[in-house]
Every structure is written in structure tokens, then in C-alpha cells.
Amino acid sequence: MSDLYAVLGVARDADWAAIRYAYRHKARFAHPDAGGSPQEFARIRVAYDTLINEARRRRYDETGEFGELPVDQRRNQLLEMLAAGLDLAMLKQSKRSECPKNSDMVQLTREALSERRQGWTELCHEFEKTAEQSRELLGRFSAGEGDNLMETVVERRIAACQKEIETLTARVKLVNEALEVLNGVTFQADREPEPLPVREWVSMAETIQLRFK
């Protein structure tokens, strides 16, 4: 594949907003549904997926390599996400004064990660809304003299939103992978000690009192 920046037609220092705009513009005409070439659309998609992701872009700039992250790095990210889910599950059990070994920690970890995914998805939608509203402001500011600083403010606001959107989207994708891992995991929980019947408890209490007289 040729230079990924050239594929999208952007400079090497292009920000997220410029990359996304270039992708949308080129994909609109290159998509097979619009009469474009599947091969060309695939090249554009690879270029976008690489340059919009901070880690992949850095790797491409430094080595010229692109594609998925190395297996070890991706595995570590997955381990960190699973660990975060387990930590949240154990924290919830602690607040309930419940012993983790007596509960299905796989299910509780799954629930904790699902809650995180929901929160990140909602936050991503908020950033998308903010970015869209900010785009509607572009071109409306005018400056009598010098730089149009307000236009720059809006452009940076949009770029910041796009960066957050990409980060949150990557997190959601990682959570989905973690949930897939949990689908193949089971947890053997201990049975909780059953409460003693009232009569037996009274009898035992009397025995204890007699022993310590």
C-alpha cells in the first residue's frame, strides 16, 4: 500500500478532524454502493483505521507498519480491562458485605463491564452531539483584524471531541472483546453457609454459655 496519508490526501500532521473529514469525503465516492472500487474503498478504510488511532498512527510513523496492534500489546489491554471489571465487581461485593467466593464473579464482572460500556457509549454520544453542534458554528465568526481566533477555538473544540470519541469507541470495542472472553469462563462459587434453625441456635448458645461459666 502507498503512503497512508496520501491515500486520504492529508498532511502528516493532520489532526483527527481533518482525517475524519478526508475519509468521509473519499469514502462517499469510493464505496461500492456508490459505484466505487472495493479495492480502493478497502485502501481508504485501512488508512483511516490506522491514522485515526493514536497507537497505530505512532507505530506507522515510526516503522511504516500498520494494522492491528501487536498481539502482546492487545492482550495486555484486554487483561487490564478484565482486571478493571473484576475490581469493580469485588468492590460492589465489599459494599454489600458479601464474600466474593460465594458469588458468581464471572457474572458480576460481566455486569460491571456492561455498565461501564453503557456509560462510555452515552458519553460518546454526548461528544458526537457537541462536535456536530460545534461544526454548525464554523464560518459564522468574523474578525475585523488579525486571526479569527474564535474559528480556531471551534476547530480545536471539534478536534478535542473527535479525540474523545475515538478513545471511547476503542474502550467500548475492548469491553466487547472482554465480554466475549467471559462467555467462555465459568466460576465455581462456594455455597453460602446456611443459617441455623432457631431451636438449634438457641441450644448452641446455651451450650456456649455453660462452657464459659
Q: Please compute the mean of the pLDDT values over residues 167-172 and round it to a whole number.
A: 88
Position 146 scores a pLDDT of 79
When the pLDDT of each residue in the chain is averaged and rounded to a whole number, the result is 83
Q: How far apart are CA 65 and CA 67, in angstroms?
A: 7
- pLDDT above 90 (res 100): no
Record the pTM: 0.59
DSSP string, 46-84: HHHHHHSSHHHHHHHHHHS--SSPPHHHHHHHHHHHHHH
Q: Please compute the mean of the pLDDT values over residues 153-169 and round it to a whole number.
A: 88
Classified as helix, coil or strand, 23 is helix
DSSP 195: P
Cell of 21: 473529514
- Nearest alpha-carbon partner for 22 in 56, 51, 63: 51
Position 115 scores a pLDDT of 94
Q: Please compute the mean of the pLDDT values over residues 154-161 and round it to a whole number.
A: 90
Q: In terms of pLDDT, which residue wins out, 88 or 68?
A: 88
Task: Catalogue the long-range contacts made by 100-103 (C-beta closer than 8 Å, 24 or more residues apart).
Answer: 101/189, 101/190, 102/189, 102/190, 102/191, 102/192, 103/189
Position 105 scores a pLDDT of 93
Position 144 scores a pLDDT of 80
Cell of 63: 516503522
Q: Which residues contact 7 (CB under 8 A, 6 or more apart)?
A: 1, 43, 44, 46, 47
pLDDT tens across 4-61, in order? 999 999 999 998 888 888 988 888 888 777 777 777 888 888 888 888 888 788 888 8
8 A C-beta contact, residue 163 and residue 124: no
